[in-house]
Amino acid sequence: MLEISAGGVVYQRLNNELQVQLIQDRYGKISLPKGKMEAGETIEETALREIVEETGLIGKIIAPIDQIKYRYHHDTKGTVDKEVHYYLVEAIGGELQAQVEEIRGVEWFAPEEAWRRQTQSGYDNNDRILAGALKLLGVQV
């Protein structure tokens, strides 16, 4: 069975300072907003919907970053092949607010601090996603 999810690395420029958004997931790990594709949605629509749901922010896709693929075992579905598509997303509206049913928190960080937190407390497979986003934003890590 194939399960497709999508999400993004959300950024904004506030007073000419670049900020990158990270979430803390329900397990206390640093992560990125993402979720499962619903019937009738494109992958891009999924990414933007999940960002709104989890963080309260309306975004605009700037560029695709990369995909993560892995396999996991589900109690009722059996073996699931998972694909997660990530995009670089500019925040263009909304109000920052964590979806407490899904995540513990959401915050903005300077790019270097976001990278430090990701590498210390995030999922290893998100390292290349955040690094790819920062590279697209002109930040070397």
Domains in the chain: how many in total? 1
Among the listed residues 99, 92, 120, the one whose alpha carbon sits nearest the alpha carbon of residue 14:
92
41: in domain = yes
Claim: this prediction has a pTM higher than 0.75: yes
Query: What's the confidence (pLDDT) of residue 120?
Result: 97
Q: What's the pLDDT tens digit per position in 82-109?
A: 999 999 999 999 999 999 888 999 999 9
Q: What's the pLDDT tens digit per position in 30-80?
A: 999 999 999 999 999 999 999 999 999 999 999 999 999 999 999 999 999
| Residue 119 structural domain | 2-136
141: in domain = no
DSSP string for residues in 81-123: EEEEEEEEEEEEEE-----TTTEEEEEEE-HHHHHHHHHHHB-
The partner residues of 9 in beta bridges, in order of sequence, read 88
58: in domain = yes
113: in domain = yes
